[in-house]
């Protein structure tokens, strides 16, 4: 009697794996389509920039191919490279589009902190707030120390940030650096899209163990002691970078 294919464990496992791979591929395509649609709604020129990046990469590849006598070979190789470059361009413009959508909304500075790389302990809710003016202060702890990021017009929000800085220094002492940064588009403020880049350039002052200890002590202090709007959902505010790269 012929053995049924369904009774073969190896065949069943292969079928399941193919289905999972297909689902993952469809999921990645859906993510790319969603990122592109969101970006194009804010930045209509994104398609032309992607086409320019793709065409420019292919032209450069073919040009190098002519120089070394292999234009067809280099042309073929430059096609997938051009696709990758186009996706990188889309990812960069998607990030700008995402920040453009949340700019001016309560919690936008906190959403910008969510883009920090690993090694940072970021509080999703503000640690200080003024319910009357809706000025907010968000906190992140990493190897450079404690970073307070304000949201609100200067110099009004400066007083709120100074109060939070003094409160932290009373608990941690002078050994832990506390840096105050201001998010916004005005003078002496950092645009939302540059927040994570600016903080990433700060020099380390604490060990990984100290970061964990400082984060625990600050969380014991609690957060805002007054009702404030939760603002932007950080998970929706920032683009999916892996999806933008096609991973």
Strands 145-151 and 178-183: parallel
- Residues 3 and 227: their CA atoms lie apart, in Å, by 68
Per-position pLDDT tens, the chain of length 247: 444 444 565 555 555 455 555 556 667 788 888 888 888 888 889 899 999 999 999 999 999 999 998 889 989 999 999 999 999 999 888 888 887 777 778 888 888 888 888 889 998 889 999 888 889 999 999 999 999 999 988 888 999 999 999 999 998 888 899 999 999 888 888 998 888 899 989 999 999 999 999 988 888 876 555 444 444 444 444 544 444 444 4
Cite the DSSP H helix spans in 173-246: 195-200, 208-221, 234-237, 241-245
* Torsion angle in degrees (nearest 10) through CA of 147, 153, 156, 161: -10
Contact present, 231 and 110 (Cβ < 8 Å): yes
- Residues 60 and 82: their CA atoms lie apart, in Å, by 10
- Closest C-alpha to 111, from 140, 141, 89: 140
Strands 121-122 and 145-151: unpaired
| Sequence spans of domains, the chain | 5-102, 108-231
Convert the pLDDT of each residue in 192-231 to its tens digit: 888 889 998 999 999 999 999 998 888 887 655 544 444 4
Convert the pLDDT of each residue in 123-141 to its tens digit: 888 999 988 888 999 999 9
| DSSP-assigned letters across all residues of 192-207 | GGGHHHHHHTSPP-S-
Residues sharing a CB contact under 8 Å with residue 50, sequence separation 6 or more, in sequence order: 86, 87, 89, 90
Q: What is the pTM of this model?
A: 0.66
């Amino acid at each position: 009697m012929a053995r049924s294919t369904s009774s073969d464990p190896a065949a069943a496992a292969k079928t399941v794996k193919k289905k999972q791979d297909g689902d993952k591929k469809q999921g990645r395509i859906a993510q790319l389509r969603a990122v592109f649609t969101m970006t194009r709604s804010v930045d209509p020129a994104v398609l032309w920039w992607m086409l320019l990046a793709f065409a420019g990469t292919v032209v450069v590849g073919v040009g190098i191919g002519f120089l070394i006598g292999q234009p067809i070979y280099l042309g073929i190789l430059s096609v997938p490279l051009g696709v990758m470059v186009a996706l990188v361009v889309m990812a960069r413009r998607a990030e700008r589009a995402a920040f453009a959508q949340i700019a001016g909304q309560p919690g936008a500075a906190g959403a910008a902190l969510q883009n920090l790389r690993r090694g940072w302990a970021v509080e999703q809710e503000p640690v200080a707030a003024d319910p009357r003016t809706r000025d907010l202060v968000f906190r992140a702890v990493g190897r450079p120390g404690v970073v307070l990021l304000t949201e609100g017009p200067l110099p009004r929000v400066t007083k709120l940030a100074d109060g939070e800085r003094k409160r932290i220094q009373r608990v941690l002492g002078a050994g832990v650096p506390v840096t105050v940064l201001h998010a916004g588009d005005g003078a002496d403020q950092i645009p939302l899209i540059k927040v994570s880049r600016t903080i990433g350039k700060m020099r380390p002052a604490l060990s990984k163990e100290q970061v964990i200890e400082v984060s625990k002590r600050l969380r014991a202090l609690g957060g805002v002691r007054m009702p404030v709007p939760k603002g932007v959902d950080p998970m929706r505010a920032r683009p999916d970078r892996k999806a933008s790269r096609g991973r």
